[in-house]
Amino acid sequence: MTALNATTSNVPLTAPLSRAKVGMASLIFMESAFFSAFLVTYLYYIGKSPDGPQPLDCLELNMVLINSVCLLSSSITVVLAVRSLARGAMGAFRIWLAVTILLGLEFLLGTGYEWWGLIEDKGLTIQSNAFGTNFYSLVGFHAFHVLVGLVLLIGVFILSLFGCINPARDHQRVDVATWYWHFVDVVWILVFTLVYIVGRVPQGAAA
Amino acid sequence: MTPDHDKSKAERLAERAALAPRGPSEMPYLRAIPQPTPWPILAAFGLTFIFAGLVTNWMVSVVGAAFALVGLIGWFREVFPHENVEAIPVADCEAVLPPPVFEPRPAKSPRNVVPEEIHPYQSGFKGAVAGAIAMAVVAAGWGLIDEGSFWMPINLLAGTVLPSVGDATLEQLRLFNGGWFATAVAVHVCLSLAVGMVFVVSLPMMPRRPLLAGGLIAPIIWTGIAWATMRVVNPTLEEYISWPWFLGSQIAFGIACAAVISRTTKIRLQVGRSFESRMGFEQTEGDSS
Amino acid sequence: MQWAISVDHKKLAMMYIGAGLIFFLVGGIEAAFMRLQLAQAGNEIVDPATFNQLFTMHGTTMVFLVGMPILLGFGNYLIPLMVGARDMAFPRLNAFGFWLFIFGGLLLYFSYVGADGLYGAGTAPDVGWFAYAPLTSRTFSRGNSTDYWILGILVSGFGSMTTAINFIATILCMRCPGMKLMRMPMIAWMMLVVAFLVLVAIPILTAAQSMLLFDRTLGAHFFDPETQGSAILWQHLFWFFGHPEVYILILPAFGFVSEIMPTFSRKVIFGYPLMVAATVGIGFISLGVWAHHMFVVGLGPVLDSFFGATTFLISVPTGIKIFNWLGTMWGGRLQFTTPMLFVTGFVAMFVIGGLTGIMLATVPMDWQLSDSYFVVGHFHYVLFGGTVFGIFGALFYWFPKATGRMLNERLGKWTFWLLFIGFTLTFMPMHVSGALGMPRRIYTYEVDRGWEIWNLISSIGVPVQMAGVAIFLWNVVRSLRKGEVAGDDPWDAWTLEWSTTSPPPDWNFDRIPTCTSARPLWDRKHPEDPDAHYE
Ligand code: HEM
Ligand SMILES: [Cu+2]
């Protein structure tokens, strides 16, 4: 036994990777696989629903551009929030976090508003045609993930209001949590490109 | 570290148990492992119910969501702000586990052995010649005894590559044909050499009895394959063949070939040596011979 | 209660394996009914509708509720012990994942009472384990049975994904000092690749199942060809999940073989780096072969040749593994204990299954054999002869560690030989009946097709296997009470789990071990000739 304990001391005890980071990275990897299934399906169906409401007629860019700007800029504000937290500036942290949450809320409400318009005015529902099916599924799942991220951020915000967030102790955890928010943003870039740019093409001959 | 492998397992375990309670000085650590907690199972239950509601009643989903929420909050409080762990000072805990005993045991077989010995390739050549002759003798025997013609087996063998043999009459098959003879000899030589070379490499890997593996088992296996595929490979042969004789000739080949090859001494393959040292550009240890 | 709230990886692992074994019995009984029905031509033991439910539930159960949980269970038990950690990286997430699997499985089986079908009574899912569209559309699949299939698998799939995240974090972050990646036991490598495959494949299934759910409940149009949907898309999505899934089911068993075989050959594993490379290679290539399940769809010559070629390619790293195992045994002092019998059986049976796989990857041949009993023969050779044999080997090998008592060797050998003979009787003839044209999933057949004898032999194998399993269960019960006390290291093995007590304490190791080579325990036992010298 003694000979073996001797070797013990030679080997430094280091934890090379943080398990929170690896865990979050794996989660994001998994979610990417999930979204890629929907993205590929969307791509596959582009131009394949001649009947019913058409993307060119339904999708208007003005609303969704505002939403996109909000969501994308929220990635910046959340970085600012984490930086403030790392500096120990709790006030700035709360403000930036609140801004992030508001931007996220705007995105969700804007999406809801857009959907409402689509359903009421354009008559596009998940049952209309392949376009409707894919549109609501893809955008809906993304919105759901935004919601989850938002709940996460609101949770952090509430904790910080009650003084439960300790910069030195928690800033890494908060940082890892915000990775998820960035991920949701990146997915949006893909969704936006696919749905509002690539997908706004004529759908073959209308019946 | 007394060598005590002759003690029974029970004895060794008893010895270990006697070692059990150790002084606190040997117990420098607190063992921190997570506390048991009901929250994950509650959250899982809730999540399942959320989905189950889709196929039963929406109230089920509502109940599930409530459970899931409670579970997640409870779970969160379990890890925030500090992970809730159980500290077990080993000295106090009830079942102190003594360290396992390892007695050094002699290594019973080499750490790493790979099949790196073969017979020299030229022995494969000799074996092939011996096998080819042995096989030809048996085949000729079949031709003379059963079919009444020395040329019959030779012509049939040619049929493996020459489709024209298939159209021949039995009379023609019994007669000498120069082209067919040359073809048959070529086929026979090529196949024999190929099998000889395979034997050179594979016989040293067979457990102990090369004659059994190379002389009997291998011919039986390939006769089986021939039996299953002959209809496609050589339909003419299939028509006239006598399988016992065929098997006999294969075994004759196998035994002769394997006997000649296994008689020669093996040489070491140069596995794991760099190209330079194999080529002799560079001397390495153990190279002096 | 103790167990329900536990977050200890060993307890969870034992629950995983125990639950998996229970589902194994359930799935086995379903199979036994099918074989009873098919034993003779024109039998009327079960009616066609029930037969459909039987093969659907059998397949679904064996893949999702037996194979996955038992293998993940072994991963759970072994990874922390083998890499020298106190627990998994996220112990609570681990418990969460386990319970999701259990509840998902129960939800699936609840369909027997819960899913109002055509006849008003509960019906189990009956659309086959791969649930091809448009059979799953509302038109053809009334009631809720298909929804139960979706939701049950969805929920247990969440469980697998959380477990995979846990595996990755544990293997990457929780290794003990000195445990470099290239010193990890092969099982850790296999589990790492498996976790990666789970993270790629299961979300695709989840996505496809959500789409199907939308089709069925919200009237969406993903897969119904009547309304612009595409039935082929389902096949692509399903098999993009499905083929990695079969590797998820075999790689851990490769891991078992790679641990058990060296121990009982008394040699190091042959070609460790190559083994790692082959594992990683398999992981990647297996993502690009899925359409070999779809040759009969008519994808066109380009896609067919592409997927045929990638499938051939995957047999290269697989072959490397086989040769490495043979190289491990070669020249060793073989000890044919029960675990060793199972893993040698594994190698032999897996080779046969791999070869029939190659036959099926040959496109024109597949056109003949697809959807016949030949395919059933193929995948049972890899899944039963492979995965299940591996699991049994592992059960015999690590049972002493987990319980402190040995399983009885004599009964173990009985189990092996009964299973081996029964397995061969049941599945070997399927290749013949398949080649003779017998389609899979038929509930009966006519007399004069020449299939009777092969089906009869197949069915005769079933009671033989059942006897083997019964003896195994008896062995477990008996050994738990009065099996020979195992001690810490009954097999004189070389990986870290044998350096702690049997069963290990809740905290696994009194002192976190250090690792000096790929065989840390060898180094401790043989200080005069440690492996570290060879690295
Ligand atoms: C050398 C490796 C392998 C090759 C080349 C191969 C090839 C194939 C091919 C071409 C098919 C499609 C047959 C058809 O439906 O027409 C198939 C089916 C199947 N294979 Fe393999 N396979 C291999 C290994 C495995 C392994 C390791 C497993 C699982 C452990 C497995 C499990 C299955 C299953 C479950 C099916 C049938 C799925 C179904 O239709 O229900 N295979 N294999
Ligand atoms: Cu496959």
Q: What is the pLDDT of residues C383-421, one digit of tens each?
A: 999 999 999 999 999 999 999 999 999 999 999 999 999
**Res B152 pLDDT > 50:** yes
Nearest to C345 by CA among C253, C274, C470: C253
Nearest to B54 by CA among C210, C398, A185: C210
Please state the domain extents for chain C. Answer: 9-534
CA of C366 to the centre of ligand 2 (A): 12
Predicted pLDDT of residue B103: 59
Grade residue C122 by pLDDT with cuts at 50, 70 and 90: low
**Res B86 pLDDT > 50:** yes
**Res B19 pLDDT > 60:** no
Q: What percent of chain C has pLDDT over 90?
A: 78
Q: Per the CB < 8 Å rule, is B54 touching C147?
A: yes
Q: Are C427 and C375 in contact (CB under 8 A)?
A: no
Cα(A31)–Cα(A27) distance, integer angstroms: 6
Residue type, C3: W
Q: Per the CB < 8 Å rule, is C485 touching B10?
A: yes
Domains of chain B: 16-93 (1.10.287.70), 117-268 (no CATH)
Which alpha helices (H) appear in C286-408, and where do they start and end?
A: 301-329, 338-361, 363-369, 373-382, 389-403
Residue type, C317: P
The residue contributing the CA closest to ligand 1 atom 8 is: C357
Grade residue B228 by pLDDT with cuts at 50, 70 and 90: confident
Q: Is residue A23 part of a domain?
A: no
CA C168, C153, C286, C223 dihedral sign is negative
Q: Give chain A's domain count.
A: 1
Cα(C414)–Cα(C430) distance, integer angstroms: 24
* Residues of chain B numbered 139-168 and touching chain A (CB < 8 Å): none
**Crossing angle of helices B58-79/C91-114, nearest 10°?**
170
Predicted pLDDT of residue B248: 92
Torsion of CA C131, C133, C138, C144, to 10 degrees: 10
Predicted pLDDT of residue A155: 93
Ligand 1 atom nearest to C63, measured from its CA: 35
Predicted pLDDT of residue B4: 42
- Provide the residue range defining the domain that includes A118: 52-206
Q: B236: Cβ–Cβ under 8 A, 6 or more apart, which residues?
A: B156, B159, B165, B166, B168, B173
Looking at per-residue pLDDT, the higher value among B114 and C259 belongs to C259
**Res C486 pLDDT > 50:** yes
Tokens of C360: 């099926």
Predicted pLDDT of residue B215: 85
Q: What is the ipTM of this complex?
A: 0.93
Strand partners, C501: none
Cα(C146)–Cα(C133) distance, integer angstroms: 11
**Res C127 pLDDT > 50:** yes
From 3.30.450.40, 1.20.210.10, 1.10.3210.10, 3.40.50.10610, which CATH number describes the C9-534 domain?
1.20.210.10
Q: Is residue A17 part of a domain?
A: no
Mean pLDDT, chain C, rounded, equals: 93
The CATH number linked to A171 is: 1.20.120.80
Residue to substitute in C379, C391, C430, C441 for testing ligand 1 pocket (most ligand atoms within 8 angstroms of CB): C379
Q: What is the pLDDT of residues A65-87, one digit of tens each?
A: 999 999 999 999 999 999 999 99
From the CB of residue A10, how many other CB atoms can be counted at a distance below 10 Å? 10
Q: What is the pLDDT of residues C306-365, one digit of tens each?
A: 999 999 999 999 999 999 999 899 888 889 999 999 999 999 999 999 999 999 999 999
CA of C357 to the centre of ligand 2 (A): 8
**Res B82 pLDDT > 80:** no
- pTM higher than 0.90, yes or no? no
Name every chain A residue with its beta carbon within 8 A of the beta carbon of C200: 29, 33
Residue type, C412: G
**Res C448 pLDDT > 90:** no
Grade residue C123 by pLDDT with cuts at 50, 70 and 90: confident
Q: Is residue A58 part of a domain?
A: yes
Grade residue A8 by pLDDT with cuts at 50, 70 and 90: very low
Cα(B197)–Cα(C455) distance, integer angstroms: 43
**Res B244 pLDDT > 60:** yes
Coarse DSSP helix, strand, coil percentages of chain A, rounded to the nearest 5 percent: 80, 0, 20
Predicted pLDDT of residue B287: 42
**Res C299 pLDDT > 50:** yes
Q: C154: Cβ–Cβ under 8 A, 6 or more apart, which residues?
A: B51, C104, C206, C209, C210
Predicted pLDDT of residue B160: 80
Residue B222 has φ and ψ, to the nearest 5°, of -75, -25
Buried b (16+ CB within 10 A) or exposed e, C294-312: bbeeebeeeebeebbebbe
Predicted pLDDT of residue A2: 31
- Work out the average pLDDT over A43-56: 86
Cα(C149)–Cα(C109) distance, integer angstroms: 9
Q: Are A42 and C112 in contact (CB under 8 A)?
A: no
**Res B15 pLDDT > 70:** no
Q: Is residue A32 part of a domain?
A: no
Q: Per the CB < 8 Å rule, is C488 touching B78?
A: no
**Res B8 pLDDT > 60:** no
- Taking the CA of C311 as reference, the closest ligand is 1
Tokens of C20: 């998996």
Predicted pLDDT of residue C423: 97
Highest mean pLDDT, choosing among A122-136, B11-25, B115-129: A122-136
Looking at per-residue pLDDT, the higher value among A107 and B56 belongs to A107
Q: Are C87 and B33 in contact (CB under 8 A)?
A: yes
**Res A157 pLDDT > 80:** yes
CA of C247 to the centre of ligand 2 (A): 8
Q: What percent of chain B has pLDDT over 90?
A: 28
**Res B229 pLDDT > 90:** no
Tokens of B152: 């019959």
**Res B278 pLDDT > 70:** no
**In chain A, which residue's Cα lies nearest the Cα of C199?**
A30
Grade residue A104 by pLDDT with cuts at 50, 70 and 90: very high
Grade residue B35 by pLDDT with cuts at 50, 70 and 90: confident
Nearest to C243 by CA among C209, C282, C290, C200: C290
Q: What is the pLDDT of residues C226-252, one digit of tens each?
A: 888 899 999 999 999 999 999 999 999
The residue with tokens 């399942």 is: B48
Q: Per the CB < 8 Å rule, is A1 touching B81?
A: no
Predicted pLDDT of residue B286: 47
